Structure 1
Amino acid sequence: MDPTTLPAGVVNPFAALTFIAAPALLTNASSLLLMGTTNRLARAVDRVRELASQLEHHARGEQAIAEVELWLMQRAEQRVRIIVHAMTTFYLAVGSFSFGTMLALIGAALVTPAHEGTRMWVLRFTIGACVIGVAAIMSGSLALVFESRITFRILTEEARQARERYAKRQIA
């Protein structure tokens, strides 16, 4: 069935708008996810640098603290890798939705019902680009869920470490 016609064979005036607006809105959503992920990456990179600096300043007697901070740094590096993966998928989503929008515009403007074969190919590529974009958003979002869980583990360990330092100060 042709998605641009209603069941009675009447042309659907919203079909072209749907094929153009949906990818455009999804492009915007992907861009917002990308901006947020970029901020997360900057904070994660800063944290890795901070932990590396702290590791350099530990005395020999602080081996236990250095080991915990090394573990924290490994988790922070893991966060960076996951965030970069998410950013890559969000870039793919933006590109896919932009490509889908462009194809929909071309299809709506240049392809007439007389060119049925071409019209169906443009429609298939538009839908394909949008499916790739949605899959990329899902993949990137799932990666950020995992990254959030790692961040939670890091914060839990840092809180435990801070409580231990506080308890030692109270005893002394």
Structure 2
Amino acid sequence: MTPAIDSHYAVLTAMLAPALLMAATGSLLLSANNRLARVVDRLRILLTLWNAGERGHAALENQILRHRRRSNFLLRACLFLYCALGSFIGTSLALAVDALSGQRIPLLPTVMGLLGMAFLLGAAFYLGREVLAAVRSFEAEIRDEMA
């Protein structure tokens, strides 16, 4: 192979690592969006009950509050995941631009990759908070039903 072809393969190979992170982030996004849809569906049911005359029922109002909190955690997690996805796409593009420019911007791909990982860390934090809130909400619903 000629050196030009070797360098093109090296660039494409380097671009695979961010592509794997993009795929993993996409899977997390799918999961988080599914969880968000389920929380929103449950919240709609609770609001229907509230509008049907259950106003003032403390347990129902607490459930609505808990589900709103969960939806906010999931929304933040999704925003972080979309930012991570954008950062990993940027990392892949920055690797190509760096290679085409003769390695004149070597820090850009690294910074973009680190930024993506920081966004993933933030998303993991909010996903963890949502799971904790879901378990606590479920335990509170069981307590309310048994009371």
TM-score by length of 1: 0.74
- Aligned AA for 1:156? E
- Aligned AA for 2:40? V
Give, in angstroms, the shift of residue 101 of structure 1.
0.4
Q: Corresponding residue for 2:94?
A: 103
Q: Corresponding residue for 2:6?
A: none
TM-score by length of 2: 0.86
Matched, 1:30 2:25: yes
Q: CA RMSD in A?
A: 2.3
Matched, 1:73 2:68: no
Q: Corresponding residue for 1:143?
A: 126
Structure 2: distance between partners of 1:135 and 1:78 = 23
Give, in angstroms, the shift of residue 23 of structure 1.
1.1
Aligned partner of residue 15 in structure 2, secondary structure:
helix
Structure 1: distance between partners of 2:77 and 2:96 = 28
Structure 2: distance between partners of 1:67 and 1:162 = 13
- Aligned AA for 1:71? N
Task: Provide closer, same or farther for how the CA distance between residues 126 and 59 of structure 1 changes in structure 2, counting only shifts above 3 A.
Answer: closer
* Identity within the alignment, %: 28
Gaps of 5+ in 2: 1-8
Task: Provide closer, same or farther for how the CA distance between residues 49 and 59 of structure 1 changes in structure 2, counting only shifts above 3 A.
Answer: closer
Moved over 6 A (4+): none
Matched, 1:56 2:51: yes
Structure 2: distance between partners of 1:68 and 1:33 = 32
Structure 2: distance between partners of 1:87 and 1:127 = 23
Equivalent residue runs for 1:41-52 within 5 Å: 41-52=36-47
Matched, 1:93 2:88: no
Give, in angstroms, the shift of residue 59 of structure 1.
5.8
Give, in angstroms, the shift of residue 157 of structure 1.
1.1
Structure 1: distance between partners of 2:110 and 2:13 = 11
Larger radius of gyration: 1
The total of aligned residue pairs comes to 142
Gaps of 5+ in 1: 1-13, 113-118, 165-172
Give, in angstroms, the shift of residue 105 of structure 1.
2.0
Give, in angstroms, the shift of residue 15 of structure 1.
6.4
